[in-house]
Amino acid sequence: MTLLVGVFFAVAIYLFLSKHIIRILLGAAILGNAVNLLIFTSGRLTREVPPILSPDDPVSNVVITANPLPQALILTAIVISFSFFAFLLVLGFRAYQELETDDTEEMRFAEPEDQEMPPLGY
Asked whether the beta carbons of 4 and 37 are under 8 A apart, the reply is yes
Q: Is 59 in the site for other proteins (CB under 8 A)?
A: yes
* 94 touches other proteins by CB under 8 A: yes
Question: DSSP for 12-48?
Answer: HHHHHTSSBHHHHHHHHHHHHHHHHHHHHHHT---SS
Does residue 50 interact with other proteins by CB under 8 A? no
Residue 2 interacting with other proteins (CB under 8 A)? no
Using CA atoms, how far apart are residues 9 and 34, in angstroms rounded to an integer? Answer: 6
Q: Which residues bind other proteins (CB under 8 A)?
A: 16, 21, 24, 28, 31-32, 35, 38-39, 41-43, 55-59, 69-70, 73, 76-77, 80-81, 83-84, 87-88, 91-92, 94-95, 98-99, 104, 107-111, 115-119, 122
